């Protein structure tokens, strides 16, 4: 997978962010049956095991033809971030098991706010318009789950709330640390390989404790392969390419497009009926993302022309992983 040529840094970052959100959004469709067939621990084990083999094998073959060296990075640091990723994903699966999806979506998408706050604390000044864009995105996400505000959910599990909020903080930490943990210029495929392998290592003790379920039909094997390739391999590669061009605050906001994509897949493949307010919510999310990207492009142009100060997009072009 190579990066689109002839495009500026923020535009490339936006393209990779959208592709990552698109890939991640397929997890709801692909993983729905797999959870019933395999359970959480086994599903994650097979997902990350296959992803590790595909990414590791691909990078090794690429290196023989002049590509990047998988081992020429701080391996322990990369594995530590990968383990964090694996624990974060596992936490999310347990949270969904405890909560209605509507409650989970609203709570887990607090993480873009956390990322922007963390970015501010780390010295990346966030422009007022970027906060406006974030408010638009959050409003859109709320509209996609009207059941939550109309009393359409039952008893809310305290454990589910704790798990979801914990996952939100872990997602924010993962994005911030993932953008800073590895040396400048580390290839996105190399980074994704270490993240997925770290997640695989995190899944091993889980299956040792809970047992490993094997797929029992060709259709389940096909779903596992799809789950490992699209919302695991492709999504992570695109995610780390995005972080080479944009700071985590901007990537986090663009990644909220996953909500709009998930709604589209639920209608197209699962036959679900969407209320008009959910469609409106998805449109508002897209509008907020477009505002954020407009601010990013404007600030990048201002930085290159020497006009205007530095805000979070300008910092994106100077981040440790920027090209």
Token readout for 262 is 């998930």
Is 163 within a domain?
yes
First-to-final CA distance of the chain:
17
pLDDT band at 149 (very low <50, low <70, confident <90, very high): low
pTM, to two decimals? 0.81
* Helix 40-64 with 27-38: angle, nearest 10 deg: 120
Exposed/middle/buried for residue 48 (C-beta within 10 Å: 0-12, 13-18, 19+): buried
Say what the pLDDT of residue 248 is: 83
CA 260 to chain centre: 14
Is 149 within a domain?
yes
Q: pLDDT (tens digit, 9 = 90+) per residue, 153-196?
A: 556 788 988 998 999 999 999 988 888 888 877 888 999 999 99
Of 308, 118, 90, nearest to 201 by C-alpha is 90
CA 206/CA 211 separation, integer angstroms: 8
Give the torsion through C-alpha atoms of 213, 217, 218, 223, to 10 deg: -50
Is 319 within a domain?
no
CA 14/CA 179 separation, integer angstroms: 15
Query: What's the mean pLDDT in 21-28?
Result: 86
Query: Got the DSSP string for 9-66?
Result: HHHHHHHHHHHHHHHHHTHHHHHHHHHHHH-HHHHHHHHHHHHHHHHHHHHHHHHHTT
Q: 67 lies in which domain range? A: 9-305
CA 318/CA 127 separation, integer angstroms: 16
Is 103 within a domain?
yes
pLDDT of 3 strictly over 80: no
Say what the pLDDT of residue 163 is: 93
pLDDT band at 152 (very low <50, low <70, confident <90, very high): low
CA 320/CA 74 separation, integer angstroms: 15
Is 312 within a domain?
no
Q: pLDDT (tens digit, 9 = 90+) per residue, 265-310?
A: 777 776 666 778 878 888 888 888 888 877 777 776 776 665 444 4
Is 3 within a domain?
no
**Domain count of the fold of the chain:** 1
pLDDT band at 322 (very low <50, low <70, confident <90, very high): very low
Q: pLDDT (tens digit, 9 = 90+) per residue, 227-278?
A: 999 999 999 999 999 988 887 888 888 888 888 888 787 777 766 667 788 7
Is 1 within a domain?
no
């Amino acid at each position: 997978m190579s990066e689109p040529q002839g495009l500026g840094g923020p535009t490339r970052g936006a393209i990779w962010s959208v592709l990552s959100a698109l890939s991640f959004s397929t997890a709801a469709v692909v993983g729905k049956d797999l959870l019933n067939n395999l359970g959480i621990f086994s599903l994650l084990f097979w997902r990350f095991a296959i992803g590790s083999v595909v990414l590791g094998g691909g990078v090794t073959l690429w290196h023989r033809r002049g590509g990047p060296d998988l081992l020429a990075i701080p391996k322990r640091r990369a594995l530590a971030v990968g383990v964090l990723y694996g624990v974060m994903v596992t936490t999310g699966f347990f949270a969904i098991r405890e909560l209605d999806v509507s409650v989970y979506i609203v709570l887990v998408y607090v993480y873009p706010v956390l990322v922007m706050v963390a970015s501010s604390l780390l010295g990346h000044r966030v422009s007022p318009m970027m906060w406006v864009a974030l408010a638009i995105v959050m409003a859109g996400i709320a509209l996609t789950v009207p059941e939550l505000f109309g009393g359409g959910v039952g008893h809310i599990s305290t454990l589910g709330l704790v798990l979801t909020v914990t996952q939100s903080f872990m997602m924010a930490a993962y994005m911030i640390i993932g953008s800073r943990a590895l040396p400048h210029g580390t290839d996105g495929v190399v980074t994704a390989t270490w993240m997925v392998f770290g997640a695989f290592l995190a899944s091993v003790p889980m299956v040792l404790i809970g047992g490993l379920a094997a797929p029992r039909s060709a259709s389940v094997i096909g779903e596992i392969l799809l789950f490992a390739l699209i919302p695991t391999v492709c999504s992570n590669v695109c995610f780390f390419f995005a972080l080479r061009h944009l700071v985590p605050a901007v990537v986090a906001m663009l990644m909220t497009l996953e909500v709009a994509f998930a709604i589209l897949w639920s209608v197209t493949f699962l036959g679900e009926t969407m209320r008009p307010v959910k469609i409106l919510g998805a449109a508002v999310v897209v509008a907020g993302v477009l505002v954020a990207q407009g601010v990013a492009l404007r600030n990048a142009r201002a930085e290159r022309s020497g006009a205007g100060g530095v805000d979070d997009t300008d910092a994106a072009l100077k981040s440790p992983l920027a090209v």
